[in-house]
């Protein structure tokens, strides 16, 4: 039977390729191919990764991206299934401490040589770099950065409050909110009602009050810091913010209320830089709102880092390995990062990209400058609400306490602080 | 049908088991497959609940640690209390609504078919759609409250959706809207199956309609009532998509239900062991409902056999 013979020959051939990968590579026959999964399927995220795929193909690669739309956790379910089946994608979206956690369940690719060749380590924020090299080796590469504590100000609400100064500290912020309320802005704080929304308001409050306390309590889970006065102060500030929100938003997504924000019916929004892309996609003009770093009591910007990244899973196939090399080079390339961030509204991971040119917005320039300043003053910290500071289980335990506090006005700041410390102990 | 074919003259009769082969295949293959599926995955989940699994299933033994952790968590305690409240309120109210609708429809009214379709229609809508629609209707800033305000009654207040103590009732309301038509259909079938001779006899004896219902028709409905209650209860215990779309467990964590906690532990927090423990606890709650029902059915059948 001729078919069997062919199949047998094929099998023998691939067995040889497996046994002698250098041989396969030496033949130069392997055309770079990349299997990738991510949650980015639509909107600016989908457009950005499609553009990245085009670049990959321009370099002679075969781009096989399978998006899993929905929450990040749904993408993780697919990743989990593929890993357990012994067939991980060559590359997948993953971020924060999850990189370290997942790297324990399947072998990853050591990217140290590629990172060194690109000189990438020098241009990445140190806290961020640490997340992508658990155990000291680069296994994942950050792709783009958002700050989760940017402050968006509605121009019309500012007019109603007769204010033109951008708030710097929390005292300024509270002052402005009062003025807005007095000036007829129905809800000085624009917000959604999702769990990360509530988490974001808390982390913005705590990091703005004391980046040191944030680092100790939230990032290092230091017991004393968790019981410290800064946590109570942050909960007290969070109560003020909650009182200025529109209670009717229920469990809505923040984007539901963007029109009211632009109309000046809502005044300020503490949100990640991605809101800029959402606002632009919804057809609002850049001159209708202002973007500034979130309030910081010491006057220097505090940057709550959220970074998307790709992790590279070990594969034996020569074409996938070549694809991984090409992908890694592309992700670190300043031109690619520029292209990607200009589509999504984020800022590049590389701190040496010049944002003065066309294609960048003022909001992006402000964000990039805030990152640079925050790194200089050691005030660039990792976002808890967006799963950068802790693994999912710990983050969820903290947000349980925070979201209940936001919605239940009978809980005192002291009680909330105690509950937060207890929740951390329970999830450890 | 197969009997008729076998009786046809001029053809040798096939052996019994060959003739009945399609029936066996039709019944046993799906039954065995689904039983194997159900049993094997249940056993697998029970096993996982005793392991320290987090991101992926691992072997190992942690005893009841996952169970104590789940039972001690605020999320589970709130979910369990909510289940008691939601389960009893939903089952009683949906059965009552269904019964009233069925009695009203039973009055030989015109357009019964149309009305019956209307009442049954919500059942054809998925829970996600139900939840989303009600989340807009019940939102005070957009739905019913705003409508009444716009009509001029500005002191009207209906903000259950964002009220921590009342939010669970919004789920009750939406669930009743969705499934009272189902209870109605079962009750209606029950009402129609009451022997008309008995009813006529009662009427001849001078019993009015209220008395006829109370003394004759309703007592004969109670086996159906139990069926309705059991079916609705197991729906209540496994409620997931409705809450997820309507309140997503909020405000805060005020409307958590066990199924949400299981999903949250397994897939949001990547704690497979604890999620499995919560799932097993849910199974136990379900058994607490189904076992008495099975026992009752068994007693009924024995009584019928003896009679």
**According to the model, what pLDDT value does residue B13 have?**
77
Q: Name every chain B residue with its beta carbon within 8 A of the beta carbon of A103.
A: none
If DSSP codes are grouped into helix, strand and coil, which group holds residue A390?
coil
- Enumerate residues 105 to 134 of chain A having a beta carbon within 8 A of any beta carbon in chain B: 105
* Partner residue opposite B250 with nearest CB, options A74, A251, A397: A251
Would an 8 Å CB–CB cutoff place A220 in contact with chain B?
Answer: no
Contact B162 A73 (CB under 8 A): no
CB of B75 within 8 Å of any CB in chain A?
A: yes
Q: What is the spatial distance between Cα B62 and Cα B148, in angstroms, rounded to a whole number?
A: 56
Burial A335-354 (b: 16+ CB within 10 A, else e): ebbbbbbbbbbbbbbbeebe
To the nearest 10°, the Cα dihedral for A41, A44, A49, A50? 80
- Closest by Cβ to B55, choosing from A80, A193, A247: A80
The tokens describing A133, both together, are 């090299």
Predicted local confidence at residue A137, as pLDDT? 95
Q: What is the pLDDT of residue A313?
A: 97
Region at A291 (left for phi over 0; alpha for psi -120 to 50; beta for the rest)? beta
Q: A73 and B142: CB-CB below 8 Å?
A: no
Please compute Rg for chain B using Cα positions: 25
pLDDT at A288 over 80: yes
What's the CA angle centered on A392, arms A389 and A393, to 5 degrees?
115
Give residue B1's pLDDT: 44
Residue A23 has pLDDT above 50, yes or no: no
Nearest CB to B141 within list A84, A246, A391: A246
State the helix-helix crossing angle for A229-244 and A392-407, rounded to 10 degrees.
Answer: 60
Structure tokens at A123: 């241009």
8 Å CB contact of B141 and A426: no
Distance, in Å, from the CA atom of A88 to the CA atom of A80, rounded to the nearest integer, reads 8
- Identify the residue among A250, A400, A408 best suited for mutation to test binding to B, counting B beta carbons within 10 A and taking the highest: A250
Neighboring chain A residues of B74 at a CB cutoff of 8 Å = 400
CATH of domain A30-146+307-348: 3.40.190.10
Q: Which of the four pLDDT bands, split at 50, 70 and 90, describes residue A29?
A: low
pLDDT at B216: 83
Predicted confidence at residue B112, as pLDDT, reads: 87
Task: Say what the ipTM of the complex is.
Answer: 0.75
Q: How confident is the model at residue A279 (pLDDT cuts 50, 70, 90)?
A: confident
Residue B9 pLDDT: 56
Residue A418 has pLDDT above 80, yes or no: yes
Q: Quick check: A101 contacting B, CB < 8 Å?
A: yes
Angle between helices B167-192 and B112-120 (to 10 degrees): 140
Q: Which of A193, A263, A271, A270 is nearest to A237 (CA)?
A: A270
At residue A10, does pLDDT exceed 60?
Answer: no
Query: Do B56 and A84 count as a contact with CB atoms less than 8 A apart?
Result: yes
Q: Which helix (H) or strand (E) holds B151?
A: helix B144-151
B180-229 residue pLDDT tens: 999 999 999 998 888 888 888 888 888 888 888 888 888 888 889 988 99
| Mean pLDDT taken over chain B | 88
Residue ranges covered by each domain of chain B: 74-306
CB A283 within 8 A of CB A360: no
Residue A28 in this model has a pLDDT that exceeds 60? no
Q: Would you say residue A9 has pLDDT above 90?
A: no
Does the CB of B73 have a partner CB in chain A at under 8 Å?
yes
Q: Residue A232: its pLDDT value, please?
A: 97
- Per-residue pLDDT of A62-114, as tens digits, reads 999 999 988 788 899 999 999 999 999 999 999 999 999 999 999 999 999 99
Structure confidence at residue A3 as a pLDDT band (50, 70, 90): very low
Neighbours of B37 (CB within 10 A): 10
Contact status of A249 with chain B (Cβ, < 8 Å): yes
DSSP A71-129: -HHHHHHHHHHHHHTT---SEEE--TTHHHHHHTTS-B---HHHHHHHT-GGGS-HHHH
Q: What is the nearest CA distance from B296 to chain A, expressed in angstroms?
A: 41
Q: Is the pLDDT of residue A309 over 70?
A: yes
Provide the b/e sequence for A58-80 (b: ≥16 CB within 10 Å). eeebebbbebbeeebbebbebbb
Instruction: Give contacts of A73 with chain B, Cβ < 8 Å.
Output: 267-268
pLDDT band of residue B11 (cuts 50, 70, 90) is: low
Residue A408 near chain B (CB below 8 Å) = yes
CB distance B251–A80 less than 8 Å? no
Q: Which residues pair with A93 in a beta bridge?
A: A310
The whole model's pTM is what? 0.81
pLDDT at A148: 94
For residue B19, pLDDT over 50 is answered with yes
The more confident residue out of B46 and B193 is B46
pLDDT at A26: 43
Q: Is the pLDDT of residue B12 over 60?
A: yes
Tell me if B110 sits within 8 A of B243, measured CB to CB: no
User: Is residue A62 classed as helix, strand or coil in its secondary structure?
Assistant: strand
**Which residues, listed in sequence order, are joined to residue A293 by a DSSP beta bridge?**
A150
Q: Using a CB–CB cutoff of 8 Å, tell me whether B165 touches chain A.
A: no
Instruction: Note the pLDDT of residue A24.
Output: 43
Strand partners, B178: none
Q: What is the pLDDT of residue B8?
A: 54
CATH number of A150-305+360-427: 3.40.190.10
Nearest-angstrom CA–CA distance, A83 and A85 = 5
A118-146 pLDDT per residue, tens: 999 999 988 899 999 999 999 999 999 99
Two tokens, residue B285: 């709650």
Rounded CA-CA distance A388/A382 in Å is 5
Q: Are A345 and A328 in contact (CB under 8 A)?
A: no
Confidence of residue B177 (pLDDT cuts 50, 70, 90): very high
CATH number listed for the domain at residues B74-306: 1.10.3720.10
Q: With contacts defined as CB-CB under 8 Å, which chain B residues touch A194?
A: 248
- Based on its alpha-carbon atoms, the radius of gyration of chain A, rounded to whole angstroms, reads 23
At B104-118, the pLDDT tens digits run 998 888 888 899 899
What residue in B sits closest to A99 (Cα-Cα)?
A: B55
- Partners of A202 on chain B (C-beta within 8 Å) are none
Mean pLDDT of chain A: 90
Whose CA is closest to A203, among A393, A377, A395? A395
3-state secondary structure of A348: strand
Residues A93 and B65: their CA atoms lie apart, in Å, by 33
Q: What confidence tier does B10 reach under pLDDT thresholds 50, 70, 90?
A: low
Q: Where in chain A is the domain with CATH 3.40.190.10?
A: 30-146+307-348, 150-305+360-427
B250–A392: do the CB atoms touch at under 8 Å?
no
State yes or no: pLDDT of A14 exceeds 60: no
């Amino acid at each position: 039977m001729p078919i069997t013979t062919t199949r047998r020959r094929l099998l023998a051939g691939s067995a040889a390729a497996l046994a002698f990968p250098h041989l396969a590579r030496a033949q130069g026959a392997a055309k770079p191919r990349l299997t990738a999964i991510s949650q980015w399927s639509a909107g600016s995220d989908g457009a950005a990764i499609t553009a990245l795929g085009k670049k990959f193909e321009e370099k002679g690669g075969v781009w096989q991206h399978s998006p899993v739309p929905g929450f990040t956790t749904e993408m993780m379910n697919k990743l989990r299934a593929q890993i357990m089946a012994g067939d991980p994608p060559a590359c997948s979206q993953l971020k924060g401490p999850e990189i370290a956690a997942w790297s324990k369940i399947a072998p990853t690719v050591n990217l140290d040589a590629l990172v060194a060749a690109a000189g990438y380590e020098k241009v990445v924020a140190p806290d961020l770099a640490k997340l992508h090299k658990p155990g000291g080796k680069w296994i994942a590469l950050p792709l783009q950065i958002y700050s989760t504590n940017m402050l968006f100000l509605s121009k019309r609400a500012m007019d109603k409050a007769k204010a033109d100064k951008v708030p710097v500290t929390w005292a300024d912020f509270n002052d402005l909110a009062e003025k807005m309320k007095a000036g007829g802005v129905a809800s000085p704080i624009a917000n959604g009602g999702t769990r990360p929304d509530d988490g974001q308001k808390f982390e913005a409050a705590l990091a703005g009050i004391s980046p040191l306390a944030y680092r100790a309590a939230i990032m290092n889970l230091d017991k004393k810091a968790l019981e410290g006065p800064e946590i109570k102060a942050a909960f007290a500030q969070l109560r003020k913010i909650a009182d200025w929100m529109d209670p009717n938003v229920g469990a809505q997504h923040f984007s539901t209320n963007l029109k009211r924000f632009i109309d000046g019916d809502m005044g300020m929004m503490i949100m990640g830089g991605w809101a800029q892309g959402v606002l632009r996609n919804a057809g609002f003009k850049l001159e209708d709102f202002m973007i500034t770093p979130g309030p910081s009591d010491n006057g220097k910007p505090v940057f709550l880092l959220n970074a998307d990244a790709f992790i590279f899973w070990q594969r034996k196939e020569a074409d996938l390995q070549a694809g991984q090399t090409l992908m890694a080079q592309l992700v670190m390339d300043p031109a690619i990062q520029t292209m990607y961030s200009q589509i999504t509204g984020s800022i590049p991971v590389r701190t040496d990209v010049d944002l003065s040119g066309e294609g960048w917005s003022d909001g992006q320039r402000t964000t990039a400058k805030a990152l640079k300043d925050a790194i200089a003053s050691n005030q660039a910290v990792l976002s808890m609400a967006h799963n950068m500071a802790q693994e999912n289980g710990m983050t969820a335990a903290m947000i349980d306490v925070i979201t209940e506090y936001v919605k239940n006005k009978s809980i005192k700041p002291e009680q909330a602080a105690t509950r937060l410390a207890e929740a951390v102990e329970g999830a450890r | 049908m197969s009997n008729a074919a076998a009786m046809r003259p001029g053809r040798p009769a096939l052996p019994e088991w060959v003739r009945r082969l399609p029936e066996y295949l039709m019944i046993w293959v799906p039954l065995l497959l689904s039983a194997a599926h159900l049993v094997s995955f249940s056993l697998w989940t029970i096993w996982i609940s005793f392991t320290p699994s987090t991101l992926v299933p691992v072997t190992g033994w942690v005893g009841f640690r996952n169970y104590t952790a789940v039972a001690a968590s605020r999320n589970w305690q709130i979910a369990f209390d909510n289940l008691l409240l939601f389960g009893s309120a939903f089952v009683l109210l949906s059965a009552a609504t269904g019964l009233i609708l069925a009695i009203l429809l039973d009055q030989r009214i015109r357009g019964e078919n149309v009305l019956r379709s209307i009442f049954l229609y919500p059942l054809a809508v998925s829970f996600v759609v139900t939840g989303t629609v009600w989340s807009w209707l019940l939102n005070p800033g957009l739905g019913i409250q705003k409508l009444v305000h716009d009509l001029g009654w500005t002191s009207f207040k209906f903000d259950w959706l964002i009220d921590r103590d009342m939010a669970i009732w919004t789920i009750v309301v939406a669930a009743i809207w969705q499934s009272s038509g189902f209870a109605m259909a079962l009750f209606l079938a029950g009402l129609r199956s009451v022997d008309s001779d008995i009813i006529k006899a009662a009427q001849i004896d001078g019993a009015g309609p209220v008395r006829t219902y109370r003394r004759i028709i309703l007592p004969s409905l109670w086996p159906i009532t139990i069926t309705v209650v059991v079916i609705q209860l197991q729906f209540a215990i496994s409620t997931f998509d409705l809450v997820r779309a309507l309140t997503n467990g909020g405000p805060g964590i005020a409307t958590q239900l066990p199924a949400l906690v299981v999903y949250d532990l397994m897939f949001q927090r990547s704690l497979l062991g604890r999620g499995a423990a919560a799932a097993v606890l849910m199974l136990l709650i379900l058994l607490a409902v189904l076992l008495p029902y099975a026992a009752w059915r068994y007693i009924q059948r024995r009584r019928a056999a003896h009679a």
